[in-house]
A and B are shown apart, each in its own frame.
Chain A
C-alpha cells in the first residue's frame, strides 16, 4: 500500500515548515497550497487522504474551501482538519457546520496535530 497523501493549505511559510518538519520522519507524502483557491484545485487533482486547512486564508477562507470540497462528490469523503484561531467564539461551531471532520485551535501542539492526523489517516 502506497504512502498516504496529506494536503496542507496554509499561507504562512513558517507554519507550513512546522508540518513539513513534523511529517519528515513519517511515511506521509505532503503536498502544500498557499491559499484557499489553489488548495481546492490541488485537492481535486491530487485526491489526498487528509486535508489540513487554516481557517483564514487569502482568496478563499478555509471554511469556504471546506464547503467547496464537501460539495464535490469526488472530494466529499476526504477528512478535513480545520485549524481555527478562536478569533471569536463560535469558530469551532462554524468549522463543524462547514463540514470539517475535526478542528484544532492555533497555536496547536505539533504532537497533538500528529495524533489527529494519525487518527483520520492512519499511516500505511
Chain B
C-alpha cells in the first residue's frame, strides 16, 4: 500500500447540496446562505438546551400564535356585532324622527279638521297626537348626542307654544268664536307648525345623515378588521414556517456534517474533525465523534508506522536474503574449485595418467575418491538446503518423459544393487503422457529414496513404481529392508536425522537426502509419506502434479 498522507479535514456545518436534491432542497440551501434565517439557524444551534426543550418551545410558540389568532378573531366578531347594534339604533332613531314628523302632520291635520268640524272629539285627537309626538321626541332625546339636544329643545319649546295656541283655539271654538279661532290658527298656529315642521325636518335629516356616516364608518372598520386578521394569519403562518425551518435545519445541518464526516471515515480518511455550533445532543455527539476520529487517526498512524517499519524490516530481510544467496553462490564456487582439484587429481592418478600406481596406494586413492565424492555430495546437499531456506531455489521446469527419469535412476543404482545381491525392479506403465517438471530434481529425489532403500536392505528387493492418478503422478520406492520404528517415522524427513544414530555409523549417508527430497517434492506442489514396519521394510510414496504450474511455490 502506497503511503498516503492523512489530510485532516473539518466537517463544518455548511449547507452542502446533497446529491439528487430537489427544488425544495435548493430553496432551503438558498435561504440558509442568503437570508438571515441562516444566522438564526446557527443561533438556535448554539442555544444551550436539549433538542427536546427546543422542540417543546417551538411548538409552544406555534400554539401561542394560534391563541393570539383566535383572540383576534373573537375581538373582530364582537366589534362587528357592536357596529350592527349601533346601526340598529340609528335605524330606530331615524324611524322615531319620522314618527315625530308624522305625529306633527297628524296634529296639523286634526287642528284643521277641528276648525271645520268644531267638535271636541277632534280636539281630543289633536291632544292625543300631541302626546304621541312628545313621547317619541322624549325617546329620541334620551339617546340623542349633545348637538341634537338643542334642536330637540327648540322643537319642544315650539311644540309647547303650539299646544298653548291649540288650547286657545279649542277655547275659542267652545265659545263659538270661530272667526277668532280661524285667525289665531292662521296667525300663530300655522307659522308655529311650519317652524316645527322645519325643525323636525332638520332632525330627520340629521338622524339620516348620522346613520349614513355610521354605515360608512362601520363598513370601513369591517374592511380594516378583515385586512388585519388576514395579515395576522399570514404572518402567523410565515412565522410558524420559519420556526419549523430554523429548528429542523439546526438539526439537519449537524446530521449532514456527521454524515460527511462518517463517509470520510468509511473511505479511510481518518483524523478529520466535525465542527458544529450545536450545544445540544448533537454537540455532544460531534465531540464524541471527534474523539473517535482522533483515536482512529492515532491508530491509523500507528498502523502506518508499523507498516513502514515492516517494510524497512522486509527490505532488510530482502537484502540479507540477497547477501545470503550471493554468499551461497561464491561459497559453492569456492568449495568446488578445490574439490575439482582433489577429485580431478585422484582420478588422473587412478587412471594412471602419471604412470603405474603401486599396489599399496590403489586402495587409499580409491578411499580418497569415495570420501571426496561423499564430501561433494554433502556440500551439494547443504547448499541446496540453504538455497531452499533462503527461498532462492528455483525449479528448472522442462518437458520430461517419466520412463527416462526412472531409467536414469535404475542405471545409476543397478551395480550397487547387484553388489548386494538385491532384486532391483522398476514398474512404469506405458501410457504415461509427457510430464512437465524439474526432471533433474525428480531424478535426485528418486536416487535419494532408492539409494537409501538399497543401503538399508540387506536382502530381498527394491522396487520403484510409478502410477498415474488423474493429473498426479505417484512415485513409490519400496524395499524389504530393516524398516523404521513407528516412533521414528516423524523424524525421517528432518535434517541430519537418521532413525538411529548408530545407523549413520553403519550405513553412512549425509542425513540430508530425505529432507531435501521432501522439500523438492513440496516445491513441485506434491506430498511425500512413508509407511514402514521394523524388519519388514519401508515404502516411500510421493505425489507430484503431472504438469507442474509455472509459478510453483518456491
Contacts and interface: CB of A to CB of B under 8 A. Distances in A.
A92 to B, nearest CB: 8
Contact of A85 (B332, B344, B353): B332
Interface residues of A, number: 23
A43 to B, nearest CB: 22
5 contacts: A88-B328, A89-B387, A89-B396, A93-B396, A107-B343
B2 interface: no
B528 to A, nearest CB: 21
A90 B343 CA distance: 24
A91 to B, nearest CB: 9
Given A88-B329, A89-B393, A89-B396, A15 B351 contact: no
B338 interface: yes
Contacts of A110: 344, 347-348, 351, 353
Contacts of B344: 15, 18, 107-110
Contacts of B392: 88
Contact of B337 (A12, A90, A109): A12
Q: Which of B333, B336, B341, B376 has the most CB of A within 10 A?
A: B336
Contacts of A56: 333
Contacts of A89: 387, 393-396
- Complex A-B, nearest 9 residue pairs according to Cβ-Cβ distance, in ascending order: A107-B340, A14-B341, A87-B329, A18-B344, A87-B332, A85-B333, A106-B336, A107-B343, A107-B339
B330 interface: yes
A108 B340 contact: yes
B333 A88 contact: no
Interface in A102-124: 106-111
B325 interface: yes
Interface residues of B, number: 29
A45 interface: no
A18 B340 contact: yes
A22 B336 CA distance: 19
Contact of A22 (B341, B342, B348): B348
B347 A109 contact: yes
B354 interface: yes
Interface string B368-393: 00000000100010000001000011
Contacts of B347: 109-111
Nearest to A86: B332
A60 to B, nearest CB: 16
B345 interface: yes
A15 B341 CA distance: 6
Contacts of B336: 85-86, 106-107
Contacts of B395: 89
Nearest to B343: A107
B353 A109 contact: no
Contacts, number: 75
B348 A18 contact: yes
Given A106-B336, A106-B340, A107-B376, A90 B396 contact: yes
B337 A106 contact: yes
Interface in A1-44: 12, 14-15, 18, 21-22, 24-25
A85 B335 CA distance: 9
Contacts of A108: 340, 344
B325 A88 contact: yes
Contact of A25 (B338, B353, B387, B394): B353
Q: Which of B325, B330, B332 has the most CB of A within 10 A?
A: B332
A87 B348 contact: no
A37 to B, nearest CB: 19
B331 to A, nearest CB: 8
A111 B380 CA distance: 21
A25 B352 CA distance: 11
A21 B348 contact: yes
B351 A88 contact: no
A88 B387 contact: yes
Contacts of B376: 107
Contacts of A86: 332, 336, 380
Q: Which of A14, A89, A111 has the most CB of B within 10 A?
A: A89
A109 B333 CA distance: 16
Contacts of B341: 12, 14-15, 18
B383 to A, nearest CB: 8
A1 to B, nearest CB: 25
Contacts of B339: 106-107
Given A106-B340, A108-B344, A110-B344, 15 more contacts: A12-B337, A12-B340, A12-B341, A15-B340, A22-B348, A22-B353, A24-B353, A86-B332, A87-B330, A88-B387, A90-B394, A93-B396, A106-B336, A107-B342, A107-B376
Contacts of B330: 87
Interface string A66-95: 000000000000000000011111100100
A124 to B, nearest CB: 21
Contacts of A88: 325, 328-329, 332, 387, 392, 394
Q: Which of A14, A15, A56, A107 has the most CB of B within 10 A?
A: A107
Nearest to B379: A107
